[in-house]
Structure 1
Amino acid sequence: MSTKQDKIIVGSEEWCYLPQLGIPAVKARVDSGARTSSLHAFNIRPFSRGGQRWVSFEVHPLQKNRRTIIRCEAEVIDRRVVKSSSGIGEKRYVVRTELQLNGQSWSVEITLSNRDSMGYRMLLGRQAMNTRILVDPASSFLCGALDKARIETLYRDHTRESSGLKIGLLASNPELPSNQRILEAGEERGHRIRFYDIRQCYIKLDAEQPEIHYRGGQLLNKLDAVIPRIRPDLTYYGCAVVRQFENLGIFSLNSANAISHSRDKLFCLQHFLTQGIPIPTTGLADSPLETEELIEMVNGAPLLVKLLEGPERRGVVLAESRNAGESLITAFRSLQANLLVQEFIKEADGKSLRLLVVDNKVVCAVERQAAPGQFRSNKTIGGAISATRISAEERKLAIKAVKSLDLKVAGVDMLRSRRGPLLIEVTSSPALDDLESVVGKDLAGNLISTVEKKLGWKRKLASPVST
């Protein structure tokens, strides 16, 4: 039986070694609160060997580095449901492998899960530490640190140059977390993905030699695909640029027409009704003489006043009384603003659903809870977001709405009412980072996979590391 003196003392993070998997070093988060250890893995593929269940998978062993890839194979000892830190259960493959730490080695169980949204590529749980390890949470790398030169030496043969598709990310801010995640996901899969500021793109309309350029004269005609994420105030110009790419035969994840239609809030509401998709009762009028009847149309106060040109989740005001509604409508009209009024779904209790639809599939769903005193959640005014389960009807409505607008990627907002789910809005440039952090999925990778599928591109897997 191990004594206290025999045990390894570790900090909150340590470099671990997994020789049987061919992983020379991986930085692990030491977490005694987690029962099972976990390793970042993607392209997980089960197969049979000698009548036994095996699994092949790929690993990015280094943080913030998706060009370094190791392919592994291991025998499956179990497949069990494991709850993530967000509380969502996920069925994971479990393998057993050798762990080396501080000159000692022993066999541990490790679950395989995509940890792209996590900071560490490995989590060391208490099951692997039992009887062997003591934790000093205030320290780090008590078993030895690795400098950059050593890491580069260890992984020199596992770092590859990008050789896949040429993809352009069309947006305005390269520092936005969602844009960063898309760039990372493209690099992870071996593509040459670049950020292009939509405002710095310019086009040449010519029957003989149509072109599209980027600042400094760079020609973009040879791209294989573009992923547009256009700000609402740049919709007109952004769609013109995207349309030029499409005219050149370059695939766009969301088409210019689909983006343009999704940005017209009134068109979308009218369109959804023709498709049999339920929405909250909504009213629109131009004459100030009809304000009172307009409010009555949506069942009176409280009611929502929405600017038609407002960006996603902005330009929406709750009028709690009839007088407040009349004052808001009058004020907005005096500014020559186009607006609509909409019934307030009280039973939603400040909650709304956001579903992410990619290639006609709901890939994640979260519930947003408004902050106390607010009627809806918003990044700027607070609120909570959590993963949630959705009904078959909610899933069907989201897919139907996105498909009817011909979008390949979209965020769908809806409310739960006494009448069932009501669709609020569809956005063609949904944020990904906050969703990924909640559901623990590689959502940016879904976008890249859709581009690959539409272009018929398949990446060759690396050979597994021999041990």
Structure 2
Amino acid sequence: MFDKVIVGSEEWCSFPALGIPAIKARVDSGAKTSALHAININPFIKDGDNWVKFDINPIQNNTKTIIHCEAPLIDKRIVKSSSGYREKRYVIKASLQVSDTTWEVEVTLTNRDSMGFRMLLGREAMSGRLLVDPEQKYLLGQPTTEKLKEYYSTNDEPKKGLRIGLLASNPELYSNRRIIEAGELRGHEMHFLNLKYCYMKLDAETPEIHYRGGRVLNDFDAIIPRIRPSMTFYGCALTRHFEALKVYSLNSAAAISQSRDKLFSLQLLLNSGIDIPTTGFANSPLDTNDLIKMVGGSPLIVKLLEGTQGKGVVLAETKKAAESVINAFKSLNANILVQEFIKEANGKDIRCFVIDGKVVASIQREALPGEFRANIHLGGTASVIKATPEEKRIAIKATKAMGLKVAGVDIIRSSKGPLLLEVNSSPGLEGIEGATNKDIAGEMILAIEKNFKI
């Protein structure tokens, strides 16, 4: 018992191996697990093992001081916070130093901006080593302001590169990890911004965007919106607010919104002289028969307007089946498109990746044997293909018609020539980078740099 170190309810400690010389911790024997403040959390593979890298602002209310850390990843677990919120967290093991004593502890990584301390020291880490006097604070001393400046003096150097936020939902997604990685490799300060954690202040004099915990996101040069279809409304509202704050957005909110509106986007494409599969749209079930004739009869495709990519799409192989599907959707007051089925495409389409008015890569995507493709990509294999000059022209023109800087443009080869299927404002990178071995994420960062003339 007398070999244990006595600590107060608040103490300063350090993580030497992580490069954190001083951090203030809340000592809480009521909490089982220790937690460390972390942002931009990204798992990766190092020498065949699972690791995680993350950033930390070690000083409360100071977002300019940033430490870039990485550590072996030992677990992912669900942790219930003091407010009752359940969260899946990454768990690392790191050397903790308290006074002159150093030992290995397990620590979960989480955003603690809303908390008063950048670290919580739980009872598992204290067991057998520390005794807590809850009436005392800083029994082991605390660094002076000058000492903290000395510790973190390297972070006072002028910023190099841009401060870029990736506005998305899943930090583990391949595309999001690659964009963060590409930005950092080019010397930019990259931050993953979970759009679910962002909220807005609408005010004529001081409009703001806050991040969970109250941190104001007021110092970004650019954002890259990668908004999943189910979050289109909220994600575009956030993007518009960033644009109002004079933050450059790689794809604008207006462009994303109209590209996600299936009917409106097709009308824009046609107005720009771009051919699409013959498509019909009607309000009343009474017009079903003529709608079917309009697109050349069965087989045909029925698409829900509100459906996400690859969802709400039905192949009707006979006229009777088409009538049943259309009338069933109409009975639910669902808006649908009816589209001709391009049989000669044989389950293949072309994905052209357009960045800043240029096709930077193209692949052919082919459905697995027996898989239904319904004029859209639902999976399968990807292979490198050289898009024709006409296909490139269509892809660039379609991207411009949508007002997008970055887009995945899907084209199908028909007996009538190339037809445009869809323009995706948040195209995935894994398939096209894997097939072509091209640095598409790096090209996206370059497009931002061109806007700032770096």
TM-score by length of 1: 0.62
Q: CA deviation at 1:335?
A: 2.2
Q: Does 1:438 align with 2:454?
A: no
Partner of 2:76 in structure 1?
none
- Pairs within 5 Å for 1:168-187: 168-187=165-184
- Tell me which amino acid in the other structure corresponds to 2:396: I
* CA deviation map 1:4-34 (0-9, x unaligned): xxxxxxxxxxxxxxxxxxxxxxxxxxxxxxx
- 2:289 alignment partner, SS class: helix
CA distance in 1, matches of 2:411, 2:192: 31
- In structure 2, the CA distance between the partners of 1:381 and 1:413, relative to structure 1 (3 Å rule), is closer
User: Is residue 2:395 matched to residue 1:383?
Assistant: no
CA contact (8 A) 2:349 2:377 kept: no
Do the aligned partners of 1:368 and 1:377 also contact (CA within 8 Å) in 2?
A: no
Partner of 1:245: 242
Determine which of 319, 322, 328 is the counterpart of 1:322: 319
User: What SS does the aligned partner of 1:216 have?
Assistant: coil
**Residue correspondence of structure 1 range 150-299 to structure 2 within 5 A:** 163-299=160-296
Going from structure 1 to structure 2, the CA distance change for 1:253 and 1:381 (only over 3 Å counts) comes to closer
Equivalents in 2 of 1:175, 1:283: separation in Å?
39
Between 1 and 2, higher relative CO (CA 8 Å, sep ≥ 6) is seen in 1
TM-aligned CA deviation for residue 190 of structure 1: 1.0
Q: Which amino acid aligns with 2:285?
A: P
Deviation at 1:375, TM superposition (A): 3.1
- From 353, 362, 369, the equivalent of 2:350 is 353
Provide the C-alpha distance between the structure 2 equivalents of 1:220 and 1:310, rounded to a whole number of angstroms.
32
Structure 1 match to 2:308: 311
| Deviation of the 1:379 alpha carbon | 11
The CA deviation string for residues 166-197 of structure 1, in whole angstroms up to 9 with x for no partner, is 00000011111111111111111111101011
Q: Structure 2 unaligned runs (5+)? A: 1-45, 54-156
Give CA-to-partner distance per residue, 1:355-375, whole Å, 9 cap, x none.
100000001111111122223
Deviations 1:145-177 (A, max 9, x none): xxxxxxxxxxxxxxx998321000000111111
- Distance in 2 (alpha carbons) for counterparts of 1:303 and 1:212: 45
Residue identity (%): 58
Residue 165 of structure 2 aligns to a residue whose secondary structure is strand
Q: Which residue of 2 aligns with 1:302?
A: 299
Give the 3-state SS of the residue equivalent to 2:224 in structure 1: strand
**CA 290–379 in structure 1, closer or farther in 2 if over 3 Å, else same:** closer
Compute the displacement of 1:237 (Å). Answer: 1.1
* Pairing 1:336–2:333 present: yes
Q: Determine if contact 1:369/1:377 at 8 Å carries over to the other structure.
A: no
Change (3 A) 1:361 1:382: closer
- Deviation of residue 408 (structure 1)? 0.4
Q: Cα distance 1:335–1:431, how it changes in 2: closer, same or farther (>3 A)?
A: same
Give the total of aligned pairs. Answer: 304
Structure-2 separation of matches of 1:220 and 1:62? 35
Paired residues of 1:370 and 1:377 also in contact (CA < 8 A): no
In 1: Cα distance, 2:229 partner to 2:430 partner: 19
Pairing 1:416–2:413 present = yes
Q: How far, CA to CA, are the matches of 2:259 and 2:386 in structure 1? A: 26
Partner residue, 1:111? none
Q: Which amino acid aligns with 2:412?
A: L
1:402 aligns to 2:402 (yes or no): no
8 A Cα contact 2:367 2:381, kept in partner: yes
Aligned mates of 1:287, 1:371 — CA distance in 2: 36
Instruction: Mark the CA change 1:206 to 1:381 in structure 2 (over 3 Å): closer, same or farther.
Output: closer
- Find the aligned partners of 1:322 and 1:300 in 2 and give their Cα distance: 7
Q: Counterpart in 2 of 1:28?
A: none
* Paired amino acid for 1:402: T
> In the superposition, relative to structure 1, how do residues 223 and 307 fare at CA in structure 2: closer, same or farther (>3 Å)?
same
Gaps of 5+ in 1: 1-60, 68-159, 458-467
| TM-score normalised to structure 2 length | 0.64
Q: CA deviation at 1:218?
A: 1.1
- Equivalent position amino acid for 1:349 in 2: N
* Letter matched to residue 403 of structure 1: K
